[in-house]
Structure 1
């Protein structure tokens, strides 16, 4: 996912939580037995740089906190509670450096879950190098694969996701245009999508970059309309995607739209987005464990989980498994992650968003990626995808 600011979705109400100290969140740690809690950093964009709530970051925090609550309710890790120190990276590369710096300089922090956006992950990586392992959640840029042995992620790279998206695009349209955010996420997704299209024997007839605060997409859309585009692939986040789709409809453009995980939130934004295709890193109906997680999340927060919540939940659970295996130093946790799912190493992690086994770049191998279509305020999976 991109480094861009938050989508304009409905504001989420954060749950009431017991906080034992202002500096970090230790769910269930008050009155604990077995010593100080085992502390993980959680680097997420709770707000953007202007102070507006970032839905992606808030949902990531809720998923992570649910994982901690469940672990502590089950007895913690070796009689010690698990805790999170939450830092707001604002979805901004420069703020991400400061957030990472505050975590690596806290001797209590054993490892970091985050970041959410690709740009933030890429910018913060050098700060973590040689000090603390970071497990990114929904950062999908192919550039994350090149960040070195201290950076891992539970989401599949857009270099892999783009193949499935290109196959879906070929089924939805014949003349394909591309609109992409001019940032790490948008550029990487668009580049890999167009390469996958070309391998399948098709090409994009138009491709235009945009900024995340672009308000007027009509020049791009009119050009695509003149070229007979019948499908527009949007490589970006839901706010600009919503503007582009709404303006296309006002122009009478008949093309359908599709995009990657960054536009997942359009499902709850109104019927005008029905028929939009979405590539998903998680769906509540993708497996039995996904359905069970969705039920627990729904019971806890009164809302449906999305990819952000599920991936953060899995990242915390995987870090907790390393801690439970006795890896309770930053170096030991990094070594554990390096061998997850490999011969002679810890077994693959079976998460609610799919199986995680890392390759030599810290990417999950053959990670599940699901394609759906927005219908009636939700994303519906095709028959056979469940």
Structure 2
């Protein structure tokens, strides 16, 4: 007995209980209050649903999975503080990153120094670039570059050559502007005028009045949250009768609610979440999305937003890596990077040492709003 007690004490000093623990813990940085709560709350719900499904199926290698989420309040400083708290706990194996692009940028260096993998839910390509300097950072959502390729291809098919860009001054909006400026010419599209607004602005009439003077063939609005609805309502009020393209952040029921009838006709490059019934029977994502929608609706009594799919996928990706690598932070990072053809709600994921975006182009569909509903575009 004396030898056993000595051995147990020695193991405690060496941190062995973390290895022997019957619960595997991952950290969450999902915002349930503040300006990005409309993204973070469904993201947390999706992550919690993933944990519930995993545990009902027997856990990971026989151990329960637990998500420890800290509400960052949509604030970069609070997110940094949350990362410090989570990474300071040796039994936190990986992080489900914030929905807020700016907060994702704010914690990259700290996550790198801590040596813990983070699957971010921010929508900017720059979060994981350059990969050689951000080896511990991965993305789960659609990226601005990927969805813009689908959007620009749609413009090309429709003969649209001159556009206006209206973007927010947030990290997401700025990144979207940079990516669109980089690749528009490849599709024969020219940005005739670019205007910026504050992400919390309640009126974009001055910027849109400037755009109206240019007689462009389409308008692109790149932002998150309620500002997208404000911009679309202002566009309709000014009688700008041209196609309106929004970022993938608009594939959200909150946008439809806030924009009302003004949303009809807008075009959104999106995941397949809202158009599952229209997908081909052999689409590999169809059964995954159908199960997700059914389980989410049963638990939360409402249909899921696209951001719930992001949180769900990020958690499932980490769980797959833990299953393959065990409770070791570095091994988990390596295992995420090795994931191939993981079928998720938002997309099909294949990572590599050179690609931490993950989602394959086949995961994106062009949607159009008809009668207040998301539908597949023509």
The answer to whether TM tops 0.5 is yes
- Cα shift at 1:190: 1.9
- Cα shift at 1:321: 1.5
Alignment correspondent of 2:120: 136
Equivalent pair of 1:118/1:141 in contact (CA under 8 Å): no
Larger radius of gyration: 2
Q: Give the aligned length.
A: 341
Deviation readout 1:309-345 (Å, 9 max, x if unpaired): 112111111211222224211111112112223xxxx
Which of 151, 167, 180 aligns to 1:165? It is 151
Which of 269, 282, 290 aligns to 1:279? It is 269
Equivalent pair of 2:222/2:247 in contact (CA under 8 Å): yes
Equivalent pair of 1:283/1:370 in contact (CA under 8 Å): no
C-alpha distance 156-328 of structure 1, shift in aligned 2 (>3 A):
same
Alignment partners' CA distance in 1, 2:118 and 2:178: 26
Alignment correspondent of 2:360: 366
The unaligned stretches of length 5 or more in structure 1 are 1-33, 342-347
Alignment partners' CA distance in 1, 2:348 and 2:151: 20
Equivalent pair of 1:181/1:211 in contact (CA under 8 Å): yes
DSSP 3-state at the match of 1:325 = helix
Deviation readout 1:218-241 (Å, 9 max, x if unpaired): 121112112112421001014112
Equivalent pair of 1:141/1:185 in contact (CA under 8 Å): no
Alignment partners' CA distance in 1, 2:359 and 2:301: 33
Alignment partners' CA distance in 1, 2:325 and 2:236: 56
1:75 aligns with 2:75: no
C-alpha distance 323-84 of structure 1, shift in aligned 2 (>3 A):
same
Alignment correspondent of 2:42: 59
- Cα shift at 1:174: 4.9
Quote the RMSD (CA, aligned, Å).
2.1
- Cα shift at 1:364: 0.9
C-alpha distance 143-133 of structure 1, shift in aligned 2 (>3 A):
closer
Alignment partners' CA distance in 2, 1:91 and 1:173: 37
Alignment correspondent of 1:356: 349
Which of 43, 59, 82 aligns to 1:99? It is 82
- Output aligned runs, 1:235-250, within 5 Å: 235-250=222-237
Equivalent pair of 1:92/1:120 in contact (CA under 8 Å): yes
